[in-house]
Structure 1
Amino acid sequence: MTGLRAPLGSLLVIVLALAVAWSAPALAQQRSLFDVLFGGNNNAATQPPPPAAQPRTQPQPQSIRRAPAPAPAPAPVAPPAQTIAKSDVAQRVAVFGDSLGVDLARALDRLYAENPDIAVLQKSVGSSGFVRNDFYNWNTAIEDELVADSFDVAVVAIGVNDRQVLNGAEPLSDPWREAYRARLDAFLGNIRAAGKQVIWIELPPMEQPTYGAAMAQISSIHKAAISAVGGEWVETYDRYLGENGAYSASGPDLNGNIVVMRKGDGIHFSAAGADKLAFYVDRAMGAGGSRVSLSGSTLEVADLLAGTDAATMLRPPFQGLEQMRLVEMASLVQDLGGVAPRAGDLILAGTPVARGFALEDMLDAPAGRVDAFGVGRVRRVVENPTGR
């Protein structure tokens, strides 16, 4: 009996081992057979931990796939400005002045960039003027330039810093004017004595009214001094005013387009404003008998009041192509063989202006003209002129 128990025990162990081996994959996540038979959970430390539960995410709507934005194109690099060699006998145009002169010199340099016969010399000094000769003495400076014979034409743009006390005198007082004019006369006298052409730039309108009024008075002293030596005067005040006769930062450029003419400080010229001024300076050099045809431009604007009493009166500023069209239209009809009336007669109230013929007669086709068609103009007689 005892011998039979041994084989039965061994067989039972083998059956249990086979059952455990067969059920192990299926019960990997459950309690083992040993635990079922004998209880306990002694192998819990050896079991792999259950996988962490993944959070459930709500399905997201499919976004619209967009093509990636193209990379910004690199900024175009301006080609380097070509420097044209100036002739050995090129006319030397020196710009003397303050910060206005600095802007003007740059504009003249652009104007003559491709002209080998004109060389622009920038001789301006910012914050300078004729009052503070302790800061920069223009009379001494011009003497040195003349001794060196460094220029042929002097272009002067100066004055925005001159509203200051001079020799203890208040700005624009009578003693101030006398001292200021004496310095101008010495400056211009040296240039003219050396046989150089001199061109003076009128101070433009300023945005600040009080400051602008002072600049206008200083500019009047400049004009008297340049006229005394026979120099050229370049007008800017009327040319840079707005249509309403007041300061304007914008205005017509050389092509008639309305652009920004002045800088934000209300004093200096923008690049376009300086380029327009350079054009007028170029015309002044030609008017002064310059030996070189500077820019090659021969366009001149006819002054319909030239030779009349109104030629020197204050007139509205030239405002570009629109006004030019009006001038052209006004000049289409003229009295043939008539004598131009005096400008004073035109503005006297009640003064009849004699004409060779009535303007209405131009609408009538006289007999024999190709557009008469044998029928003259019919004049209607108004039987009741009073309208009653």
Structure 2
Amino acid sequence: MPLRRAKALTVVVVATLIAAGLPLHAQQVIVQRGNQTQVVEPQRDNRPFLMRLFGWGEQQPAQPPPGARVIKVPPPGQQQRKAARPPAAVVKPQNPKNDDARVVLVIGDRLAADLGRGLDVAYADRPDVRIETKTVDEAGLAATGDMDWKAFLEKRLTDKPRPTAVVAMIGRADGRPIELPDRTVDFPTPDWETIYKARLNELTRVARERAVPLLWVGLVPVASQQATNDVTYIDGVIRDEAAEKGATYIDVWEPFSQNGAFVASGPDLDGQVRQLRLKDGVGFTRSGARKLAFYVQQSLGPALNVADHTANLMQQVSGDGPVLVLNDPAASGEDKLIAATDLAPPKPGTVLHRLVIEGLPLEPVAGRFDAAALK
């Protein structure tokens, strides 16, 4: 028989065996009894080819002795293929932050914790920005037992590195009475609102005295209708107080609601409809937290992108003391503003007299744009 024909016949036979479910390599069987191990080679099948192909006269394999432990060892070829499997993919570590990275401090309750995780993802590729999160799930401003946010903020803003900005998302769990030393103020009442606004202003004042921007992030609806009613009222108090005091308020109610009500799913940052809220109807999923952080990013930009020199000056300025002219190092501090009586009138015939007293435009300079524009 020619060699080429023999090779072709061998391939056909092997393919036939595979199609018939017959093993090309029999497995070894290791019988383990106590400390003794015995390797049992498989019995050789001496049946004719057609009988083995169609399963005629198949013999039952010998059973191991009682109490023996049987370990099947795959053929050598299969062991090599298993060892050649590529290693698992290595998880890429997050980008390290610079030693002098600007710190964004996130404070608040459980929703603020989700916001902090979303901001971590949002600024993962910026080594000059680091997110620091301090949250307590049920802590707010109505009760100070779990966390006194004013005391915490006063201490944190004196430590190094001092935050470049503070982001607060507080109020989800504040639909409850305010306990005072002498009385209990029910929710919601005018007295409750007055005390709550005063505590909001205390946090704003602490940040303003240390020249650190404070951003108030609005609340979002939750699955419970009663809790949503409470959150709606508290969010309105925060929004009105922030507008009255000139603070930055970030409205996130509409992106996470449908006709003002709670909705679990919605478009993510890519426009794909995804689950944005957790099954408990309160927390945010990863997609929801990233979407929440997106709206905060828009307001954080001016504080994070300011020039380094200006940022250092802002860190040194406080709300008290004299006003200094920053572009005149020789200027001394004064305790009063300049009045009209302190200014000497310009002399007649000078450019300043022509512009201020006579109200006439300046003479055009030859070759400059205004010289051609006034002709």
Q: Normalising TM by the smaller chain, what interval?
A: 0.5 to 0.7
Distance 1:288 1:217, change over 3 A: farther
Distance 1:203 1:233, change over 3 A: same
Find the partner of 1:83 among 95, 112, 122.
95
Find the partner of 2:251 among 229, 232, 235.
235
Tell me which amino acid in the other structure corresponds to 2:202: A
- Percent pairwise identity: 28
Aligned residue for 1:248? 263
Aligned residue for 2:111? 100
Select the structure of larger CA radius of gyration: 1
Aligned residue for 1:226? 242
Return the alpha-carbon distance in structure 1 between the equivalents of residues 114 and 191 of structure 2.
32
Aligned residue for 1:309? none
Consecutive unaligned residues of structure 2, counting only runs of 5 or more, are 1-53, 57-77, 309-375
Consecutive unaligned residues of structure 1, counting only runs of 5 or more, are 1-60, 294-388
Distance 1:235 1:83, change over 3 A: same
Aligned residue for 1:196? 212
Task: Confirm or deny: 8 A CA contact 2:150 2:202 kept in the other structure.
Answer: yes
Aligned residue for 1:21? none
Question: Larger strand proportion, structure 1 or 2?
Answer: 2
- Any idea what SS the aligned residue of 1:119 has? strand
Q: Does 1:151 align with 2:167?
A: no
Return the alpha-carbon distance in structure 2 between the equivalents of residues 287 and 238 of structure 1.
24
Return the alpha-carbon distance in structure 2 between the equivalents of residues 290 and 283 of structure 1.
11
Tell me which amino acid in the other structure corresponds to 1:119: R
Aligned residue for 1:123? 134
Superposed CA deviations along residues 15-58 of structure 1, whole A, max 9, x for unmatched, are xxxxxxxxxxxxxxxxxxxxxxxxxxxxxxxxxxxxxxxxxxxx
Return the alpha-carbon distance in structure 1 between the equivalents of residues 190 and 91 of structure 2.
54
Aligned residue for 1:137? 148
Alignment of 1:1-388 (within 5 A): 79-88=91-100, 90-148=101-159, 150-167=162-179, 168-242=184-258, 244-286=259-301, 290-291=305-306
Return the alpha-carbon distance in structure 2 between the equivalents of residues 105 and 138 of structure 1.
17
Return the alpha-carbon distance in structure 2 between the equivalents of residues 83 and 106 of structure 1.
15
Task: Confirm or deny: 8 A CA contact 2:109 2:172 kept in the other structure.
Answer: yes
Return the alpha-carbon distance in structure 2 between the equivalents of residues 75 and 241 of structure 1.
45
- How far off its partner does 1:87 sit? 4.7
- Any idea what SS the aligned residue of 1:123 has? strand
Task: Confirm or deny: 8 A CA contact 2:136 2:146 kept in the other structure.
Answer: no
Distance 1:201 1:76, change over 3 A: farther
Q: TM-score scaled by structure 2?
A: 0.55
Distance 1:270 1:282, change over 3 A: same
**What is the number of equivalent residue pairs in this alignment?**
225
Q: TM-score scaled by structure 1?
A: 0.53
Tell me which amino acid in the other structure corresponds to 1:262: R
